[in-house]
Structure 1
Amino acid sequence: MLCEDTLFGRVDKVLLAIKRLQLNEPPDGYYVAFSGGKDSSVVLDLCKRAGVKFDAHYNVTTVDPPELTRFIYKKFPEVTMEKPPISMRKLIEKNMILPTRLARYCCKVFKERGGTGRFVVTGVRHAESSRRKKRKLIEPCRQPNGKRFLHPVIDWSTEEIWEYIHTYHIPYCSLYDEGFKRIGCICCPFSGTAKQKRDAKRWPHIYNYMWRGGAELAIKRRKARGMKCTFDSADDMIDWWINGKKAGKDEPGEINIFGVIADERIT
């Protein structure tokens, strides 16, 4: 599938991705945003095959699957592990609410840092989601940080990613062999209820210390400040967060499953 016959002739997607990297190579080299997932593992290998200058970075979030970080340390020692400025537990305490699909403050702190003023290479693909179908091969960052993005495998299918991995013997994280379709932060609110529950069961120490522990600190901080608390306990907040159970009435100063309202906004 990586080689296709079209009306315009035979297209070699591997060669095309390499050409994309070579033609757009910046003088200071690429900043490769490495996640340890299958897509970024392929992109990192393509950068090597293209012979372009680059440096690769992994942003540690403190809620990373241990299997993933061990995999990166062992198989990709050239990747710089970027330590975060704060743990997820303390970040939740600071914002006084767990992150949600709408209140995604954690992404800015953990995932979107690094690469300022650089040409950033990612493994973003159209096939990943309806939102990513709108992404372009080359695009500027929406934030005023001078970043530009290049997504060399943006038009690859998931099957083509795996074809490349097996053809060129690219190492990949063992979690894929256990049925994980995508690998990211443990209990990420973007992953859905079933995945959050699965993660909590598999990595109870990280779940209890970072997520539930963060919820406890968030409630304590709100009470210490004399602020309204919609939740009586960390368990109540977690139950709302994972299961979507309604927390009181949607009155000013309260929270609903769609986001943060009034004085419980992100601070």
Structure 2
Amino acid sequence: MSAISSLPTSSALPGAAPAASSAIALYARHTEGYEERVQATIDQLRQAAIDHPGSIVQATSLGAEDMVLTDLIAKLGLPIAVGTLQTGKLHAQTVALIPQIESRYGLQVEVYSPREEAVVHFVRRHGEKAMYESIDLRKNCCQIRKLEPLSRMLDSREAWVTGLRREQSANRGAVPLRETEANGRVKYNPLADWTWNDIWHYIATHNVPYNELHDQFMPSIGCEPCTRAIAVGEEFRAGRWWWEDEKAKECGLHAVQATPSRDEAVAA
């Protein structure tokens, strides 16, 4: 049996979730400390914009967390650019959020795509489904489609903002609110201590647009070949690269060695 044909699909998983629901109905809850977490995020975003005038970007995956951040950046009128990676393998529902953001907030989203020649060479050599064949090939695909475009997004910028949260996975359990990368660039993770309930409570309260795939039990959404719905009881990122060992489940975008700043590195 080939590696491709043996891969499980969401419909084949025991205890698989229904085809669709409402992410807001499922997850939006007001929890203790919510207002304080929102205010702390606002304060950090404002200070980040002051500390890096004209040289800071939100790198958005267009997921629920990043839509919250974009909403805050726009409503606060902060001079923080918004950029995303169009890998060429995104779901149509994900790509559809780009014009929605631009229309609703009056922001121009910077879109960074992989080098066409690199993609063509990789696909010709390894095929369209190379990501299923080995971790190395999957990471090579991520390198071409994500990491190289991200390097262009961050080129000459002093800082960037992400939607990373500690609750997302064991690998992210110690995500600090602010960290300094080896190259000196500052990385802000202002939602680090937010819960999944917080994210959806904010979305519901402020009517924030979001990827409709979240209503199909996809809490973490990446490229289409590498994302599936999760089943009841599965971990948050179980639908990402589900055929791989749990320890391998990062694309490399957030694997840069960094130095947390002071007490902000303490995990919740």
- Shorter-normalised TM range: 0.5 to 0.7
Structural RMSD (CA): 3.1
Shift of 1:70: 1.6
Partner of residue 206, structure 2: 168
Partner of residue 28, structure 1: 54
Alpha-carbon contact 1:193-1:242 (below 8 Å) kept: no
Q: Could you say which residue in structure 2 is the equivalent of 1:126?
A: 166
Give the unaligned 5+ runs of structure 1: 196-240, 245-257, 259-267
The answer for the alignment partner of 2:87 in structure 1 is 61
Distance 2:101 2:95 in 1: 10
Aligned position for 2:237: none
Structure 1 residues 1-267: aligned runs within 5 Å:
4=32, 12-25=36-49, 26-77=52-103, 78-86=108-116, 88=119, 90-93=121-124, 98-99=130-131, 100-103=134-137, 104-112=139-147, 113=150, 114-118=153-157, 119-142=159-182, 144=183, 146-188=184-226, 191=227
Deviations along 1:19-64, one digit per CA (max 9) or x if unpaired, are 0111222122421101111010001112223332111111111111
- TM-score normalised by the chain length of structure 1: 0.62
- TM-score w.r.t. the length of structure 2 is 0.62
The residue that corresponds to 1:233 in the other structure is: none
The 1:48–1:83 alpha-carbon spacing in structure 2 relative to 1, beyond 3 Å, is: same
SS at match of 1:139: strand
Q: 1:59 to 1:24 in 2, by over 3 A?
A: same
Q: Decide whether the 8 Å contact of 1:3 with 1:13 is kept in 2.
A: no
Equivalents in 2 of 1:170, 1:160: separation in Å?
Answer: 13
* SS of residue in 2 equivalent to 1:170: coil
% identical equivalent positions: 24
How far the C-alpha of 1:130 sits from its partner, in A, is: 0.5
Unpaired runs of 5+ residues, structure 2, are 1-28, 232-240, 249-268
1:141/1:147 contact within 8 Å kept? yes
Q: In structure 2, do the counterparts of structure 1 residues 67 and 88 end up closer, same or farther at CA, with 3 Å as the change threshold?
A: farther
Counterpart contact for 2:84–2:109, Cα < 8 Å: yes
What is the DSSP-based 3-state SS (H/G/I as helix, E as strand, rest coil) of the residue aligned with 1:76?
helix
Q: Following the alignment from structure 1 to structure 2, what is the Cα–Cα distance between the partners of residues 16 and 35?
A: 22
Distance in 2 between residues matched to 1:4 and 1:29, nearest whole Å: 35
Q: The residue matched to 2:200 in structure 1 has which SS?
A: helix
Amino acid across the alignment from 1:60? Q
**Greater relative CO, 1 or 2 (CA 8 Å, sep 6+):** 2
